[in-house]
Amino acid sequence: MQINPNKDTQLCMSLSGRPGNFGLRFHNHLYEQLGLNFYYKAFSSQDLPGAVGGIRALGIRGCGVSMPFKEACIALVDELDPSAAAIQSINTIVNTNGHLKAYNTDYIAIAQLLQSHAVPKDSTFALRGSGGMAKAVASALRDGGYKNGLIVARNETAGRALAESLGYEWQAELGSRQPQMLINVTPIGMTGGPEADQLAFEPGTIAAAETVFDVVAIPSETPLIVRARSEGKRVITGLEVIAIQALEQFVLYTGVRPNLEQFEKAVAFARSA
């Protein structure tokens, strides 16, 4: 990749507990292809207020926000877009002359994927997780007309609050229930984590499902997705989520919307690392 930064180059970045290369390669590829004077870098931090303060102080144009910072960043920005305010979870910060406005492009991506994969709206579902990304997924499900849902979360306070806010049930464990759609919004199956080789749901539960959706993007083929494919299930992957949400972030940062061919080439390039 040819990078020719100068004093006017606009910096964009990401904050994640476990930084990956997808966003960095996706954004920088599009900057080069579209002739934009931007550069993107991935970071992690143990000092979140300091990191967000640096975005403002250094004039960094945009920041993608990933687990575990999606809720903690809210108090550190100046304004919430309705996409973030409605679910109290952010994944994007845009800096305009020191004013930090936060958005949630995860919600947009999930809504698009449920529609493009033609997941029946009368599907029963179980969503494992209760954090910021779980809020985005559950809200997109509710707004998309999926009414029969269960939030599975060991954190009773967060799990009950999420379920009750959206009109769903809560349980600490799934138990013997066999919903038609399974959704993992936890780090189970994520590369580098303590549960990287584990399934987010029991094999029998996967076998009984029709649709399996894993929000984990690294690796793109998690143990859950591999098992679901082997069972012939409809699958939605975390790679699909991060590709669409990254596209929407790119538009917010630059004001430029790539065409479909440019988008697909950027996704292919980002995956090739």
Give the C-alpha separation, 238 to 194, whole Å. 19
Give the largest Cα separation in the chain, rounded: 60
Give the C-alpha separation, 147 to 58, whole Å. 45
Give the C-alpha separation, 72 to 81, whole Å. 16
**How far from 132 is each of 4, 61, 128, 138, 190, CA to CA, in Å?**
36, 23, 12, 10, 17
Give the C-alpha separation, 204 to 195, whole Å. 19
- Shortest CA distance to 238 belongs to which of 106, 130, 84? 106
Catalytic residue among 70, 121, 135, 147: 70
| 143-18-272 Cα angle (round to 5) | 85
Give the C-alpha separation, 93 to 14, whole Å. 9
Assigned token pair, 157: 């306070």
The verdict on whether 70 is a catalytic residue reads yes
Q: Report, as residue numbers or ranges, the catalytic residues.
A: 70
